[in-house]
Structure 1
């Protein structure tokens, strides 16, 4: 892809000339005259790099631009400075800008600095991608609650085997994350992990999606196509929301699980496969069996080992760790946003009926409008009117032990974030000895 550059400067003649220089180097360039234009352009133009003048209308105040800088440093920002603005340019570097160039701009120097910034940014993204790929599979199972500790222990035990697994629990509690962790720890980790949502595919198409079809098997089948079972051969097939699978398909799936073979739609040649099946559902399958909505024989075939996920309201001590985890993912190699204490308390004690999925969505939304590297309660209140300042309130029904555990984890997590993970300074801020803090970190798995 052609690298994209966004040029922000209030001088039209300079923008035109600078754009010509950059386009001659092979870049795609858009320009605008002020910070509002920068925000608008970034919504439409996914720039790889921003060239940003410090003195912009309507204020022509470099400090105003500096205050807005943290909004844009998820990509390289090169500051353009005028005469006498060197100290401000250095302050911009301290706030996360990549480099600065003094006007009048030398086109050769501009080309070198831009090329180096884009190259470094690409290397950082590739490094982060490699780190994520090398991350231990259990690292994706975030939480310090007893239920999450039990899930991690069970995943470690069953992953090396080929036992079938049924993951149950409310929507948004991480059933697919658990299933991927099992796959990644198994002997099949080098094979594919194929996910199919049984309730999202129309009943008349689900058979073809799973089993594939031959050419001419039905109207529109102008060529043969492998199904998801074939694609999963040698790996793991994840059947999400299996409770929504039509009864007719349940019969056909049962044969696959019993015999390890199937016929593609319209085919006469038997296909054999070697897959591990992991299923997930938010439904009460035994109750569906009683009502005749789910086959009993299939239920016992997929059941194997059952892992039950718990709603987030029942494990508030996991929320601080999830908040930190999702903010780290959003940072993309830059310093992550951190919630202040009031914001942390709001995240911990608010009800999350959509569970982890809803929490992540809320963090994504709030992070988009936060300023200065910190998420504050007033940022949250712009999107969630129930976010009011005041003392943290315990969630109804939480035991005293769960409340204390959640509060300690929140305070420790916030202190570590505030002190750049320096445990000595965090311990001092919390009024603990360093050894006392280390013991709590170990106890909570932080």
Structure 2
């Protein structure tokens, strides 16, 4: 187990020796300094969890100067030590941010209590920050958030195929994160430094889609007063994301097929052939094979874009992801507009009990709406009822959380513990296999095991 670190700053060598030896016997890692200048040098390389600071330090022996030096310890808890049991100085030290105040001669038992409480505060804050970091919107394949089996499979597949140039078709209901997956594939590829160009095939009118994709030359049609590069040219070297490709008109499907086959195209009205190097990722919420059978989607194009198929599930099929998604969205909101916002247990359960036909997108919008009327503190079921009047406290919710006021952080922690236990049982204690099941590194799993004392 990692030792907690303490920096002891006192100008009396005998006291430093005695106190540091006693603290070391209490299993703390202690470094000492005989002056403020020495303390500043030590703290630059010694990540102390706590600072014990004598109030009267050389060269000035001025308590005001010493109190002002607390800012040099970067927010670490500071316990002020003094040979003068002065209540006014004690109050001033606390008012300026000291964790506590203890007078010489020091009672070892009293010091033990004060140090233990301060260390516990530091440890708790660090663990909460780590938990928030682990559930905030992460980078890489983990950007597809969730602990469910389906989410883990998606992340594993994304990590495997992202470095390649294989074409990908992402399918699934609207609002399930298809564009997030596509952007992640780009970000993890060798094309990451090049553009990611997104085209919604159903949002652009059919008569404009060709010129938007291929661009045009001056005079190609009325209003074409100068050459314009199309989205294909803008994506050169990078990734072209064709969202809702099932809505692309048949005439454009033929022209897109030629681009995929040959890597070339002609701008509208142009005679000079353009060469491009792009990776194509497509997405749809439609059944493309059904469209092929119905004659509204070309079979040859379907097999050109399919490559690897990544299928997303509706949120209703992975409700265990809801608490983690909520925490991630709260983290984003706190970075943007609100502070210290949490969800009560009943509120989390309400979010889990909904069917969310709009999937993750609808969940996110609902949380943002509720957060807008509760800019700080804890979101409760009463807050939700202001926007959703039909909300009721069901017996299921009451029985599940009879007397608890757990925050979302606490529930996420409990969920992580359950998932870790399950993965370890399933892998018969093999941490490497358990880490793979959880979609995290082996070292990350070990850190969580140590953090939660499993």
Band of TM-score, shorter chain: 0.5 to 0.7
- List runs of 5+ in structure 1 lacking aligned partners: 1-86, 94-130, 395-406
1:260 pairs with 2:252: no
TM-score by length of 1: 0.61
1:213 pairs with 2:205: no
For the residues of structure 1 that align with 2:332 and 2:345, how far apart are their CA atoms?
A: 21
Instruction: Find the counterpart in structure 1 of residue 46 from structure 2.
Output: none
1:160 pairs with 2:160: no
For the residues of structure 2 that align with 1:310 and 1:174, how far apart are their CA atoms?
A: 9
Alpha-carbon displacement from aligned partner over 1:223-267 (angstroms, at most 9, x marks no partner) = 110000000000000000000000000000000000000000000
For 1:14-413, what aligned pairs fall within 5 Å after superposition?
135-332=138-335, 335-370=339-374, 372-392=376-396
Q: Which runs of 4+ in 1 moved over 6 A?
A: 435-443
**Pair 1:313–1:416, CA change in 2 (3 A):** closer
Alpha-carbon displacement from aligned partner over 1:115-165 (angstroms, at most 9, x marks no partner) = xxxxxxxxxxxxxxxx99x95312311011111111011101111110000
- SS of the aligned residue for 2:395 comes to coil
For the residues of structure 1 that align with 2:371 and 2:312, how far apart are their CA atoms?
A: 27
- 2:171–2:178 contact (8 Å) kept in structure 1: yes
Alignment RMSD, CA only? 3.7
Instruction: Find the counterpart in structure 1 of residue 430 from structure 2.
Output: none
Q: How far off is 1:439 after superposition?
A: 6.9
Q: How far off is 1:438 after superposition?
A: 11
Q: How far off is 1:183 after superposition?
A: 0.6
- List runs of 5+ in structure 2 lacking aligned partners: 1-90, 98-133, 426-433, 440-447, 449-454
Q: How far off is 1:437 after superposition?
A: 11
For the residues of structure 1 that align with 2:300 and 2:422, how far apart are their CA atoms?
A: 52
For the residues of structure 2 that align with 1:371 and 1:378, how far apart are their CA atoms?
A: 14
- SS of the aligned residue for 2:210 comes to helix
Alpha-carbon displacement from aligned partner over 1:17-59 (angstroms, at most 9, x marks no partner) = xxxxxxxxxxxxxxxxxxxxxxxxxxxxxxxxxxxxxxxxxxx
Instruction: Find the counterpart in structure 1 of residue 409 from structure 2.
Output: 417
Alpha-carbon displacement from aligned partner over 1:283-323 (angstroms, at most 9, x marks no partner) = 10000000100000000000000011110001101111111
- 2:242–2:283 contact (8 Å) kept in structure 1: yes
Q: How far off is 1:336 after superposition?
A: 4.2
Q: How far off is 1:372 after superposition?
A: 4.0
For the residues of structure 1 that align with 2:438 and 2:364, how far apart are their CA atoms?
A: 21
For the residues of structure 2 that align with 1:204 and 1:413, how far apart are their CA atoms?
A: 57
Alpha-carbon displacement from aligned partner over 1:141-199 (angstroms, at most 9, x marks no partner) = 10111111110111011111100000001110100000011111111111110000000
Instruction: Find the counterpart in structure 2 of residue 3 from structure 1.
Output: none
Mark the structure with the bigger radius of gyration.
Answer: 2
- 2:343–2:408 contact (8 Å) kept in structure 1: no
Q: How far off is 1:371 after superposition?
A: 5.1
For the residues of structure 1 that align with 2:279 and 2:190, how far apart are their CA atoms?
A: 11
Q: How far off is 1:444 after superposition?
A: 5.6
- SS of the aligned residue for 1:373 comes to strand
For the residues of structure 2 that align with 1:330 and 1:160, how far apart are their CA atoms?
A: 32
**Pair 1:202–1:388, CA change in 2 (3 A):** same
Total equivalences in the alignment? 298
- 1:321–1:413 contact (8 Å) kept in structure 2: no
- SS of the aligned residue for 2:267 comes to coil
